[in-house]
Amino acid sequence: MGMRLNKSSQLVLVGAAGLAVASLVTACSQVTQTLTVDFVFVASSKAAGSNNYGEINVFEIDSESGHMRQIPDSPFPSEGRDPVAEAVSSDYGSLFVVNQDDNTVVQFVIGTDGKLYPFYTLNPPGVYPLGIATDAADMFVLETYQPLPTCSTAAPCSGSLAVFPLTAATKSGPVQVGSAAVNPSLDTNYWPLTLSGTQASDVIVPTGVSVLGSGSYVYVTAYDSSVTPHVGYIFGFAVGSGGVLTALSGSPYAAGVQPSAIATNSTASTSYVYATDFANNDVLGYTVSSSTGALAPMTTGTGGGNTFPSGNQPTAIAVDPSFPFVYVTNSLDASMTGYSVSNGALTPVGTYATGLDPVAIGIDPSTNHFVYSVNFLGNNVSGFELNETDGTLLNTQYSPYSSNALPTAVAAIPHNGTGAGVH
């Protein structure tokens, strides 16, 4: 998934009423045939409504044409200001929305029909959350600044990562979010993203977070804003019991100039990490050590290095979990580039027009057959159908699809999948 490049730890119960409503919706399961293959949730950051909240547009994807149509009652309030990132629980029963200006993460229960019901709101420990990733055991929240008294937008400091353990859903309730894990080395509930030695005071700006499919390792893209040109890094952590993190050997790893987004890809034998470099207009590729999680730069890219060319100012990246393809949005070009994957190496298969300023990208989780980009300045979503043989893309019916103003993030669940609220 991707995110926009810009801008204490108590779990607050918003209300069980939403869950009760969602349960009623779930009980009324659909008995008729439907062509809906996925529900797609698109966050729009521009304030709307009486509370100046952002909006969540909910689309259903037609399994034959790929057409994306908003469901009844869409959009839904994001329950906070300036939503910038989204993730779904591994059981597809909950949507987590990061509201940056309110410093909140809101958990929504997802009804059978794709409708959203606010359930919990939590305040992560840092300041200005900007990214989120989930697996079955944990939720990882990336924050622009650490919660330090000396840190502010006027005097920025380095970012941090917080981890919230998750408890599986039951018949009576959705996934439960626990208190933030404690960093035992600092006795804090976050892990700072900082350098050491003479660079210890440099301001490290985080940009993206991704957890490996196994849940064993989590990776964060960031760059050193205190030097010109900037220097990019990937911070890597092993994930222990209760979400406790341990820095990987060699972390942070060199990652170009200004990495902007990150994705992971696991095959039967090998795992890979990819990061887009906003400044250098390329994609960086790494091989993951199966025993330690450490990253090693690929040697199959340009000039025998680990870089693969993209369009101008790449902002988001997604890996197809079923087919050997990777897709990258290029914000300046208003385009998406597709790649075939062989032993981790990327080979371009084509570049395709999107709306203005694409900043997030997704692949439908039901068939892994439809690809969509969220276009920040276009105020819309571009839909594509991928060719399963070569990874090329065709526009889906009536694409692009209008969203609310300034969309920033996307997440999706399969229709008739498994988990709380989805049957």
CA distance 318 to 322: 12
Res. 13 pLDDT band, cuts 50 70 90: very low
pLDDT value at 33 more than 80: no
pLDDT digits (tens, 9 = 90+) for 245-257: 999 999 999 999 9
Asked if residue 109 is part of any domain, the answer here is yes
User: What pLDDT was estimated at residue 416?
Assistant: 72
What's the whole-model pTM score? 0.91
How many domains in the chain?
1
Asked if residue 123 is part of any domain, the answer here is yes
Range of lowest pLDDT (8-22, 168-182, 264-278, 342-356): 8-22
pLDDT digits (tens, 9 = 90+) for 96-155: 999 999 999 999 999 999 999 999 999 999 999 999 999 999 999 999 999 999 888 889
The residue length of the chain stands at 423
Range of lowest pLDDT (13-22, 166-175, 361-370): 13-22
Rounded to 5°, the CA angle 366-363-45 comes to 120
CATH number at residue 392: 2.130.10.10
User: What pLDDT was estimated at residue 48?
Assistant: 77
Asked if residue 264 is part of any domain, the answer here is yes
Average pLDDT over residues 360-364: 96
Average pLDDT over residues 183-194: 97
User: What pLDDT was estimated at residue 152?
Assistant: 83
Tell me the residue range of the domain where 246 lies: 11-414
End-to-end CA distance of the chain: give it in Å, rounded: 25
Asked if residue 383 is part of any domain, the answer here is yes
User: What pLDDT was estimated at residue 34?
Assistant: 65
pLDDT value at 49 more than 80: no
Confirm if 360 and 2 have CB atoms less than 8 A apart.
yes
pLDDT value at 393 more than 80: yes
Mean pLDDT across the chain, nearest whole number? 91
Q: Residue 16 burial (CB < 10 Å; 0-12/13-18/19+)?
A: exposed
User: What pLDDT was estimated at residue 181?
Assistant: 98
Asked if residue 420 is part of any domain, the answer here is no
Asked if residue 311 is part of any domain, the answer here is yes
Q: Which two tokens stand for residue 65?
A: 């044409």
CA distance 286 to 91: 29
Residue 130's contacts (CB-CB under 8 Å, 6 or more residues apart) are 3, 4, 6, 7, 84, 85, 98, 100, 142, 143, 144, 206, 207
User: What pLDDT was estimated at residue 325?
Assistant: 97
Q: Residue 176 burial (CB < 10 Å; 0-12/13-18/19+)?
A: middle
Asked if residue 4 is part of any domain, the answer here is no
pLDDT value at 9 more than 90: no
Query: Within 13 Å and on the Cβ side, how many CA atoms surround 416?
Result: 12
Asked if residue 2 is part of any domain, the answer here is no
Rounded to 5°, the CA angle 142-93-275 comes to 35
